Amino acid sequence: MASIDEKTCFNSTTKEDILARLKRAEGQLRGIQKMVEEERSCQDLVIQLIAVKEAITQVAITALSNQLVHCLQIELKEGRSEEGVIEKFIQAFKKLS
């Protein structure tokens, strides 16, 4: 199992996954810019925008899942209150939806 950096709460696998997803989304955004320059159809543009939104949402879900599994455990070990840790997670989750 990959080790977890307690400052970021990401293990190397999660970090690589997030970076790969962000790079893919970055490529999609460049493609969308080119589509606008080429005056492609609005329908094609919207389809690609939805794909980018989904890619970013998946990054957020991955990070939030990681927070739930790893970061909150670390905070509890450090002596933070369970209620405070749960509230922190809930606030992050609300921002996602």
Most trustworthy range by pLDDT among 7-11, 15-19, 67-71: 15-19
Quote the CA–CA distance of 92 and 84 in Å, as a whole number.
12
Residue 7 confidence (pLDDT) = 58
Q: Report, as an integer, the average pLDDT of 6-10.
A: 63
- Tell me how far the alpha carbon of residue 4 is from its chain's centroid: 17
DSSP annotation of 59 reads: H
pLDDT bin (cut points 50, 70, 90) of residue 1 is very low
> What does the pLDDT look like over 39-96, one tens digit per residue?
999 999 999 999 999 999 999 998 888 888 777 788 888 888 888 888 888 888 888 7
Q: Cα angle vertex 4, ends 73, 68, to 5°?
A: 35
Q: Which CATH architecture has domain 12-96?
A: Up-down Bundle (1.20)
Q: Report, as an integer, the average pLDDT of 20-26.
A: 95
Nearest CA to 72 out of 4, 3, 2, 19 is that of 4
Secondary structure (3-state) at 31: helix
Q: Answer yes or no: pTM beyond 0.85.
A: no
SS3 content of the chain, % helix, strand, coil (to 5): 80, 0, 20
